[in-house]
Chain A
Amino acid sequence: MASGSQFAQGQARKGWLPLLVGLVVLAAVPALPVGQYPFHLIVLMLMWGGIGTAWSLMGRFGLVSLGHAGFIGIGMYTVGLLWNFAGLSPWIGMPLGMVAAVLAGVLIGYPSFRFQVVGHYFALVTLALGEVVRLSVVAARDTTGGSLGMSPARVPDTESWTALQFADKRYFFYLGLAFWAVVLALWLRIDRSKVRSALEAISEDEVAAASVGVHVTRTKLKVTLLSAALTALGGMLLGQYNMYISPEYAGIGISLQIVFASIVGGMYSLWGPTLGAALTLTLDESLRNAFGTRLVGASESIYGILLILFVIYMPNGIYGRLESWWRKRRRPAREVVRQPG
């Protein structure tokens, strides 16, 4: 699972057209007669789909982070605190939040990659990062409100670009769509670049990759920082959309949700993490509707079981499985040639 090369083939050269088509189709959604509630879910799917894709920028190369929620927390609280206490618009807060997430990424990533902290050691280091963020927010409860979370101070207007607050969900739909499209476009760009080959080589054998001239630390750091910044951006959008932020967004629960959705959808494919986010949100909401509040935790229990089953039986995820099935049907002969050596 750590080696992306077996799975990431195929889609690489021709991802742009489906992405553009997808973007156009999705842009038309607000014009369709979609109810408020499904529309709300679609907005969440775009934001979480973007975050999951940002995670898989690293995850697909074996850089499994269990602390991505930490970046969400950094972003959310940068924007929230600057807005509530300094009156700075989220338009200033968001770039600063991304810078803060990148700094955290450097602090964690550079030494990790420099000293070859890999595999589950890396996962545990990132887990500690998430905990540091979560506990710092809780510890600074006089300012942050601690585990109760906080809401951005509301402006009187129903729509304000300065405050990035809108009563109308359509604004957030388009913001979410733009975010999602940017993340997927960057995913594709990396997928087609030399960085990808370098990272695939690294994920298979770090020493061998270094010996043929791959700059291991720099290459790993590139995707890590990109992933951190994008994850923070997604988190900040979520915070503005929900009008609520809390330290739980930086906790291991959210980190695992991101990982889970990406794996179920397929972390080696462009569309996988988005599919995963859509599936998990749908599952979560339909179970909540079916059982109401009587069975709190039921949908998450099913998540857990599914995650186990997916890791064991379908590590490429649903989309990855569909993709390889489709390719086998269509071009069995060419596929053999395309396999990496």
Chain B
Amino acid sequence: MGFFDIYLLEAVLNGVLLGGVLGLLALGLNLIFGVIDVVWIAYAELVMAGMYVVYWLHAFGVPLVLAGAAAVVVVAIMGLAVHQFLIAPILNTPPINQLLATGGLLYFLQNFATVLFSTEFRNVGVHLPSLHLGDMSLSYARIIAFGVSIAGVAGLYWFLRKTFIGTAIRAVSQDRDVMVLMGVDTRKIYLVTSAIGGGLAGLAALLLSLQFDVHPFIGLQFGPITFIVCVLGGLGNMLGGFLASFIIGQIISIVGYAINQDFAYVIAFLLFILVMFWRPQGILRRRS
């Protein structure tokens, strides 16, 4: 093998595409953390719920895009419910309580999905071809996911910058106590934020459905990695999270290519732990 390794390049490109999906997953979680200052540890389980919505609607003949839209709506409503019933009652207690409450939700969603759908692996059955460039092969499912993910980030950025409610959300994320004094209804802002966070989880669900089988425990597969992406970027820092998702995507893809997939995740988690000590606020420091 020569100096230039085409399969390494393929791994790098796949890493970029994986980074796009991780970026989308991290986006909603980051938004919620940045604005409400809570960690939804069950975020990946909301994505799992969305994947079941996509799967079942598609199984009953609904076109995939509509099924995905339905998933966005359903998971957005779930996001509203999470905030209303789990977070709001304990919003002013130590933050670890909210994390534990959503830990209960994680447990519930995983196992309730098992009760409803059993642990069977289900696939929407849409197989997209792969793009061949020379010896490289890149799956269209990943390319689409990457594109939608970029569009999602851009859309959220636009929403937060250019709309009234987006501006209010940013204001609350900067100082939630003062905004109350300015007459902002933070409760409403939190609900909107939770719904958007849920909607983004629903969107991620559609894209993941194209690449993975859905089963009740799929959240465990990418939940922890989503958290480390967020924390690595600095929880609540959307730009940092997006950058971190590409770093993690590269590590998983390249180490996975060089050694193996499980080991790649081990490296990613170890890196995360190290970075936490080096820069607890994430690779891009949040405004002080």
Q: How many A-B residue pairs have CB under 8 A?
A: 156
Cβ of B231 and Cβ of A124 under 8 Å apart? yes
A304 near B216 (CB under 8 angstroms)? no
A252 touches B220 (CB 8 A): yes
Give every chain B residue within 8 A of A307 (Cβ-Cβ). Answer: 100-101, 103-104, 107-108
Instruction: Check if A116 sits within 8 Å of B99, measured CB to CB.
Output: no
B125 at the interface (CB under 8 A from A): no
**Smallest CB gap from B116: residue in A:** A297
Chain B CB within 8 A of A92 CB: no
Q: Which of A104-137 contact B (CB under 8 A)?
A: 108, 111-112, 114-117, 119-121, 123-125, 127-129, 131-132, 135-136
Q: How far is the CA of A2 from the CA of B118 in the complex (A)?
A: 37
Pairwise interchain contact B103-A108, C-beta atoms closer than 8 A: no
A259 near B: Cβ within 8 Å? Answer: yes
Given A62-B96, A128-B273, the answer on whether A304 and B263 have CB atoms closer than 8 Å is: no
Given known A115-B280, A297-B216, contact A305–B108 (CB-CB < 8 A): yes
A286 CA to B244 CA, complexed, in Å: 45
Determine the interface band of chain B, counting residues with CB < 8 A from chain A: 35 or more
| B39 and A120 contact, CB distance less than 8 A | yes
How many residues of chain A are within 8 Å of chain B by beta carbon? 53
Are B90 and A135 touching (Cβ within 8 A)? no
**Known pairs A64-B100, A297-B112; A304 contacts B277 (CB<8 A):** no
| A66 in the interface (beta carbon within 8 A) | yes
User: In residues 113-139 of chain B, which contact A (Cβ within 8 Å)?
Assistant: 113-115, 118-119
**Interface pair B90/A312, CB less than 8 Å apart:** yes
CB distance from A36 to the nearest CB of B (A): 28
A260 near B118 (CB under 8 angstroms)?
no
* Contacting residue for A120 out of B95, B115, B118, CB 8 A: B95
A112 to B274 alpha-carbon distance, docked (Å) = 10
| Residues on B with beta carbons closer than 8 Å to the beta carbon of A120 | 39, 95-96, 99
A312→B99 CA distance, assembly (Å): 11
Among A64, A295, A306, contact of B104 (Cβ-Cβ < 8 Å): A306
Known pairs A115-B277, A132-B266, A312-B101; A304 contacts B90 (CB<8 A): no
Alpha-carbon gap, A66 to B104, bound state (A)? 13
Q: How far is the CA of A296 from the CA of B223 in the complex (A)?
A: 22
**A211 CB within 8 Å of chain B:** no
Knowing A117-B280, A128-B269, A301-B112, the reply to whether A308 touches B220 (Cβ < 8 A) is no
CB distance from B91 to the nearest CB of A (A): 11
Interface residues of B in 63-115 (CB under 8 A from A): 86, 89-90, 93-97, 99-101, 103-115
Q: What chain B residues lie within 8 Å of A121 (beta carbons)?
A: 231, 235, 276, 280
Q: Do the beta carbons of A297 and B114 come within 8 Å of each other?
A: yes
Checking B97, B216, B272 against A311 with a beta-carbon cut-off of 8 angstroms, the contacting residue is B97
User: Which of B96, B105, B115, B277 is in CB contact (< 8 Å) with A123?
Assistant: B96
Is B155 an interface residue, CB under 8 A from the partner?
no
Least Cβ–Cβ distance between A215 and chain B, in angstroms: 19
- Which of chain A's residues have a CB closer than 8 A to the CB of B53? none
> Which A residues are in CB contact (< 8 Å) with B111?
297-301, 303-304
8 more CB-based (< 8 A) A-B contacts, given A124-B231, A297-B111 = A121-B235, A251-B220, A260-B107, A297-B216, A300-B108, A303-B111, A304-B109, A304-B111
Instruction: Please name the 6 residue pairs, one residue from A and one from B, whose CB atoms are nearest each other, closest first.
Output: A304-B108, A307-B104, A297-B114, A139-B262, A300-B111, A304-B107
Listed A/B pairs (20) with beta-carbon separation below 8 Å: A114-B277, A115-B277, A121-B235, A123-B96, A123-B99, A124-B39, A127-B224, A129-B273, A131-B265, A135-B269, A139-B262, A252-B223, A300-B107, A301-B115, A304-B107, A304-B110, A305-B104, A307-B100, A307-B101, A311-B101
